[in-house]
Amino acid sequence: MPDAKIAVLISGRGSNLKALLDACAAPDYPADIVLVISNKPKAAGLDLARKAGVTQAVIDHRDFETREDFDEAVSERLRAAKVDYVCLAGFMRMLSPGFVDEWRGRLINIHPSLLPAFRGLHVQERMLDAGVKIAGCTVHFVSAEMDAGPIIGQAAVPVLPGDTLESLSERILEQEHRLYPQCLRLIVDGRARISGAVVQYDAQVEGAGSLINPPVD
Ligand code: GRF
């Protein structure tokens, strides 16, 4: 089967884009990134795409009168590139219901919490404030509601005594970079599929051990 064609939508730093680019560079990885779109002309992630030789486009949301017009311009580029899946990676704009409908089942996002807890912004700060002992990240299919949709995979990390916003964010981000390529592979391989409101795996996807924090003796 030919590799799946992936587009990645970014707004900033692009460390998850980098993780996906690195994964796609491996000969046995079943996907290729064919297009990177940023809504911000100065997004650092654009340089990563350039260095990897991937086509990039800036579609500046400020050039459009409505959200729908912007989304349609993005969709048009995605259609023209004949992409199979669209990965949001730090893309900081809500997408309109029309866009989400068109790409439903092919639109994937990563969020730095164990959804459905802590949707929205300033997630790591809010987790620290709430005193949670286990944080993490989620890769999920996108539905019209913010940070919602069938969950493909999650990674958990402990919140440690003395954690700061930076140290916790860094610990979560490290797992994001492992989780996103892994989840995309499961989807592209057809080993994980949407079934109603959830994602089901083939039997071959093995579970991991538990994370208990603070650890039990
Ligand atoms: C990540 O924490 C991701 O979970 C969230 O936005 C951040 C993007 O970081 N959606 P980067 O641009 O991929 O480095």
Asked whether residue 108 is domain-assigned, the answer is: yes
Domain with residue 16: its CATH number is: 3.40.50.170
Average pLDDT, the chain: 96
Number of structural domains the chain divides into: 1
Asked whether residue 217 is domain-assigned, the answer is: no
Whether 111 sits among the annotated catalytic residues: the reply is: yes
Instruction: Write out residues with Cβ below 6 Å of ligand 1.
Output: 12-16, 89-90, 110-112, 137, 173, 176
Asked whether residue 204 is domain-assigned, the answer is: no
What is the whole-number distance in angstroms between the Cα of residue 90 and the centre of ligand 1?
A: 4
Give pLDDT, residue 117. 98
Give pLDDT, residue 217. 75
Q: Which atom of ligand 1 is nearest to the CA of 169?
A: 2
| pLDDT bracket for residue 136 (50, 70, 90) | very high
Check if the beta carbon of residue 145 is closer than 8 Å to that of residue 178: no
pTM for the structure as a whole: 0.97
Asked whether residue 213 is domain-assigned, the answer is: no
Q: Which atom of ligand 1 is nearest to the CA of 13?
A: 12
Asked whether residue 11 is domain-assigned, the answer is: yes
**What DSSP designation does 63 have?**
G
Asked whether residue 25 is domain-assigned, the answer is: yes
Asked whether residue 206 is domain-assigned, the answer is: no
Check if the beta carbon of residue 39 is closer than 8 Å to that of residue 60: yes
pLDDT higher than 80, residue 119: yes
Check if the beta carbon of residue 164 is closer than 8 Å to that of residue 197: no
Give pLDDT, residue 30. 97
Asked whether residue 205 is domain-assigned, the answer is: no
| pLDDT bracket for residue 216 (50, 70, 90) | confident
Domain hosting 36: range is 4-197
Which residue's alpha carbon is at the smallest distance from atom 6 of ligand 1? 90
